[in-house]
């Protein structure tokens, strides 16, 4: 703590503040200069964000979802029977759907009788505590499941963590092995392509072909146990190509019926199963509609044991009819293909929703007699128009923003305020001052102006394509530059001309925007503008940072300028401290000298007046 003026009576603190205020003027100017650079950096980054947003919107609307420019719509004469949608690749065609004699349906199966014993089954209790009409044949053993992720391509995988002593003897038949969800048939000896050899003595799985690196191998095996029990049963279905899809379920006695159903419902066999309390039976339905079994058999084949006997999901069952004679009945509702006629040709599909030449048709009901449903595919003019209008609106909005920055007035007399200057005025005055001081940071900026000029060239240039279209630039489809000079290049749309162009040649209109080619002349205006904006964003980032990984000050021009100013401020602050220390030493010396002079004067006066 320094104190001055004791001998001189001067306000040394105030004098020092006044002196240092004058000395600090260069530092204040550097601080103001740094603030201006920071404002410029923020202004550049704001423009860059706008460029990036516009670029991303263009990519989303015109390149990633190019169907927006080739959108189709389908009208149906009876949408309650047949509805449809069309992709951009479909032609403007007419389809006639008639004689929808059958809709596709999935195969379903239900229990051949009540599955409960003396008391109804409780799906939330363990199976070992349930009394079924047909008893479950349990086997001794503890069910274990391991999932192994291969680290490299291999034909051999170890399981049971190498602990083969606990494995149950002769339980290979109850072992289930899957690779990425596909079940392999367990065999002894040399396996073929769809088989796996299981060695319980070494805990090893051996495949005929190499398993790829990163494959997920799941193995369910049995260990010795006197207290735990299990049973096995399988379900086999068929995929769209008619190939078998099998899943063998190893069921623990401690599991509930609900847990077993969950495993079935999650399995890749594609079966949905549930218990109906009212009928005391189980219903199983194939998730895929249509006929997939090429051998004209059932779509779902339930294995012996738990599914076939306990849940009574067998294909046929015996009953005694009214005459007292035994009769075989089926509990299976067979799968059906959709059978219909399209443009006079009778055909079938495995599902009620299918695609023909880019038109996705959904059959919703069966027709009666000669009833016919017409589907007409045409260009969705409204959607294409809205997409193009959206681009024009976004471009004009960007133009407004950037032109506002380039023409904003620069008030050079309004410098950034120091803390001391800000404290001396009101808050509203400071806000108005800051608004003027920050104005015009990018006025007539050549870098940004260059990006806008290149974008205008991209927009107005002709687009070459191989379609033979009459439309090769925006003006040909009714999009032109505003004649008002104050609009500074805004686009205007002649809606009637644009709609006519879309209806006449939608492919030609789309090519103006998103066609592609090796040269700039063959690229659509969206691809040209994307390249221009990417280049501009990179240039602005090199100057002001904020994108492209340029976040540290040393990575971009204005950041390095700020660092340079900070270094100069630090050095000057060090010199100011030296100046302040020198002033204090001078004032201290003056105080000491004045104190000595005062002491001498007092001594002299004492001698003079003391002798009288």
Tokens read off for 471: 């439309």
Mean pLDDT of 358-369: 93
- What pLDDT is stored for residue 505 in this prediction? 87
Query: Would residue 565 count as lying in a domain?
Result: no
Query: Would residue 588 count as lying in a domain?
Result: no
Pick the range with the lowest mean pLDDT from 29-33, 73-77, 361-365, 583-587. 583-587
Give dist(CA 357, CA 179) in Å, integer. 36
The model's confidence at residue 486, banded by pLDDT at 50, 70 and 90, is confident
Total length of the chain? 612
Query: Would residue 23 count as lying in a domain?
Result: no
DSSP letters of 504-563? H-HHHHHHHHH---SSGGGS-HHHHHHHHHHHHHHHHHHHH-SSTT--SGGGSHHHHHHH
Question: Tens digit of pLDDT for each residue in 91-130?
Answer: 888 999 999 999 999 999 999 889 998 889 999 999 999 9
Cβ atoms of 590 and 599 within 8 Å: the answer is: no
Structural domain ending residue among the three candidates 298, 333, 368: 333
Give dist(CA 79, CA 375) in Å, integer. 9
If asked whether residues 392 and 533 sit together in one domain, one would say: yes
pLDDT at 611 over 60: no
- What pLDDT is stored for residue 511 in this prediction? 87
If asked whether residues 312 and 342 sit together in one domain, one would say: no
Range of 90's domain?
A: 73-103+338-378
Structural domain ending residue among the three candidates 494, 527, 550: 550
Query: Would residue 161 count as lying in a domain?
Result: yes
Look at 142 and 325; give whichever has higher pLDDT: 142
Query: Would residue 60 count as lying in a domain?
Result: yes
Question: Tens digit of pLDDT for each residue in 453-484?
Answer: 999 999 988 888 776 778 888 999 999 998 88
- What pLDDT is stored for residue 20 in this prediction? 66
If asked whether residues 546 and 411 sit together in one domain, one would say: yes
Question: Tens digit of pLDDT for each residue in 56-87?
Answer: 888 777 765 666 788 889 999 999 999 999 88
- What pLDDT is stored for residue 1 in this prediction? 46
C-alpha 338, offset from chain centre: 36
If asked whether residues 503 and 516 sit together in one domain, one would say: yes
Question: Tens digit of pLDDT for each residue in 378-394?
Answer: 888 898 899 899 999 99
Structural domain ending residue among the three candidates 520, 550, 580: 550
Mean pLDDT of 420-445: 91
Which value, to the nearest 10 degrees, does the dihedral of the CA atoms of residues 51, 52, 57, 60 take? 140
Give dist(CA 380, CA 72) in Å, integer. 5
Query: Would residue 49 count as lying in a domain?
Result: yes
Mean pLDDT of 234-256: 94
- What pLDDT is stored for residue 326 in this prediction? 75
If asked whether residues 187 and 233 sit together in one domain, one would say: yes
If asked whether residues 428 and 355 sit together in one domain, one would say: no
Cβ atoms of 347 and 147 within 8 Å: the answer is: no
If asked whether residues 308 and 448 sit together in one domain, one would say: no
Q: H/E element holding 204?
A: strand 204-211
If asked whether residues 63 and 200 sit together in one domain, one would say: no
Pick the range with the lowest mean pLDDT from 22-26, 196-200, 573-577. 22-26
pTM higher than 0.75, yes or no?
Answer: no
If asked whether residues 83 and 140 sit together in one domain, one would say: no
Query: Would residue 556 count as lying in a domain?
Result: no
If asked whether residues 302 and 347 sit together in one domain, one would say: no
| Average pLDDT of every residue of the chain | 88
Question: Tens digit of pLDDT for each residue in 511-534?
Answer: 888 888 888 888 889 899 999 999
Pick the range with the lowest mean pLDDT from 72-76, 421-425, 516-520, 605-609. 605-609
If asked whether residues 133 and 271 sit together in one domain, one would say: yes
pLDDT at 320 over 70: no
Question: Tens digit of pLDDT for each residue in 178-201?
Answer: 999 899 999 988 999 899 999 888
DSSP letters of 425-437? S-HHHHHHHHHHH
Query: Would residue 14 count as lying in a domain?
Result: no
Count of structural domains within the chain: 3
- What pLDDT is stored for residue 14 in this prediction? 75
The secondary structure of 199-234, three-state, reads ECCCCEEEEEEEECCCCEEEEEEEECCCCCEEEEEE
If asked whether residues 343 and 289 sit together in one domain, one would say: no
């Amino acid at each position: 703590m320094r104190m001055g003026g004791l001998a001189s009576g001067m306000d040394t603190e105030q004098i020092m503040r006044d002196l240092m205020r004058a000395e600090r003027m260069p530092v204040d100017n550097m601080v103001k200069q740094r603030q201006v650079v920071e404002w410029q950096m923020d202004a550049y980054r704001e423009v860059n964000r706008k460029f990036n947003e516009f670029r991303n919107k263009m990519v989303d609307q015109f390149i990633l979802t190019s169907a927006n420019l080739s959108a189709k719509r389908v009208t149906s004469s009876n949408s309650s029977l047949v509805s449809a949608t069309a992709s951009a690749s479909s032609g403007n065609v007419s389809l006639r759907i008639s004689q929808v004699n059958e809709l596709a349906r999935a195969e379903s199966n239900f229990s051949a009788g009540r599955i409960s014993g003396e008391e109804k089954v409780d799906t939330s209790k363990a199976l070992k505590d349930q009394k079924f009409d047909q008893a479950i044949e349990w086997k001794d053993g503890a069910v274990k499941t391991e999932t192994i992720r291969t680290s490299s391509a291999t034909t051999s995988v170890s399981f049971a963590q190498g602990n083969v002593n606990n494995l149950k003897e002769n339980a290979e038949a109850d072992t289930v092995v899957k690779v990425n969800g596909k079940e392999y048939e367990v065999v002894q000896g040399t396996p073929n392509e769809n088989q796996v050899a299981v060695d319980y003595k070494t805990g090893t799985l051996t495949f005929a072909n190499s398993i790829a690196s990163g494959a997920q191998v799941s193995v369910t095996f049995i260990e010795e146990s006197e207290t735990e029990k299990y049973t096995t049963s399988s379900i086999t279905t068929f995929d769209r190509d008619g190939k078998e899809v099998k899943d063998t379920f190893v069921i623990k006695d401690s599991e509930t019926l609900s847990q077993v159903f969950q495993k079935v419902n999650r399995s890749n066999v594609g079966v949905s199963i549930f218990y109906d309390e009212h009928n005391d039976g189980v219903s199983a339905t194939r998730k895929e509609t249509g006929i997939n079994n090429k051998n004209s058999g059932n779509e779902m084949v339930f294995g012996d044991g738990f599914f076939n006997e306990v849940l009574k999901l067998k294909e046929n069952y015996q009953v005694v009819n009214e005459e007292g004679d035994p009769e075989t009945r089926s509990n299976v509702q067979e799968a059906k293909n959709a059978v219909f006629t399209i443009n006079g040709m009778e055909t079938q599909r495995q599902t009620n929703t299918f695609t023909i030449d880019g038109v996705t048709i959904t059959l919703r009901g069966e027709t009666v007699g000669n009833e016919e449903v017409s589907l007409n595919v045409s260009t969705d003019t409204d959607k294409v128009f809205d997409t193009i209008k959206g681009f024009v609106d976004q471009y004009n909005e960007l133009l407004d923003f950037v032109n506002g920055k380039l023409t904003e007035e620069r008030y050079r007399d309004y410098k950034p305020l120091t803390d001391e200057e800000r404290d001396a005025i009101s808050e509203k005055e400071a806000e108005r001052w800051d608004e003027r001081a920050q104005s015009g940071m990018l006025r007539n900026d050549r870098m940004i102006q260059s990006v806008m000029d290149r974008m205008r060239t991209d927009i107005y240039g002709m687009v070459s394509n191989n379609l033979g279209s009459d439309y090769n630039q925006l003006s040909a489809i009714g999009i032109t530059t505003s004649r008002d000079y104050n609009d500074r290049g805004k686009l205007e749309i002649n809606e009637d001309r644009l709609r006519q162009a879309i209806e006449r040649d939608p492919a030609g209109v789309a090519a103006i925007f998103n066609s592609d080619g090796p040269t700039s002349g063959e690229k659509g205006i969206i691809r040209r503008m994307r390249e221009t904006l990417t280049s501009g964003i990179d240039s602005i980032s090199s100057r002001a940072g904020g994108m492209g990984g340029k976040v540290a000050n040393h990575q971009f021009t204005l950041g390095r300028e700020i660092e340079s100013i900070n270094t100069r401020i630090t050095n000057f602050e060090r010199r100011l401290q030296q100046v302040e220390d020198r002033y204090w030493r001078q004032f201290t010396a003056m105080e000491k000298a004045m104190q000595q002079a005062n002491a001498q004067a007092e001594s002299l006066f004492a001698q003079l007046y003391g002798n009288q």
